[in-house]
Structure 1
């Protein structure tokens, strides 16, 4: 067993690369580089060490099988490599089928006057000091209610698309 250590840098700037995966192929031994690009990993003679990072080419380094040293130090330069990731479409429905069902269930108004929604009243902000103080039980119940609403909001899927418009006045 010997200690493999060193620094992984970017080929163009020679700055240390943080978060590069350094692992022995076919085993569970591995580490990541620190902020300055340094790493240290125990290896066995004959191991193949992999240096991999997103946006950079992967490098394979073989530890010599006939080495008698107790430690090896490497200076690894990773070349940048552009990779195209697939497009991700984000929508508030779990699947495209759910979106189609919501559109099909949408009920459009028959009269255009129904499209003109009344303007809601302005929001009135109250001071926290004007409200009655909560005791421990009320505070606990309020916290549980907030957690439940947050949990329900994460899994709720809109089932109807609401269409409304705001009247525009021309001068």
Structure 2
């Protein structure tokens, strides 16, 4: 008995599906979702059949395709665009239908927000009065050209390629100048000792 009921159910379902397809109620619904201003494709647009609550999502190029019924209402939605709907005609003679769905941009106007750096007018007045006016270009240039700044930069600035090349050429020239003889030794040079003592008295060797 159970076997008979199972076979009857399968036969009835097969006949029902054949009848539905023979009537042509299902169609292949395909199309492209584009924007209204530039006709560029709208990627990842949600397409929902409101009758069956089924649908799909358009690809990167705005293309979509799924099975729907004639007369169903198809809803299109995407972030930044207004929702739109389309009713599939129920008088189609084929099992395919194509659509170019135009999506209109949804512009949301926000209220103007003014950002102030101070919470109150009193704090603004105090900050305005106590603000130090920056130096002009001439004062900044003179400050950068002061002896202390130049000495600091000279002490910590490494030699570039030109200075390294100049130093190497000076070393080569010194070797060629004293070729075949002993170079002078400033250890016994009284002038060098006098300069050393004078620099020591000035405090040039202090940290």
| TM range, smaller chain | 0.3 to 0.5
RCO higher in structure (CA 8 A, sep ≥6) = 1
What's the TM-score, normalizing by structure 2? 0.39
What's the TM-score, normalizing by structure 1? 0.47
Larger radius of gyration between Structure 1 and Structure 2? 2
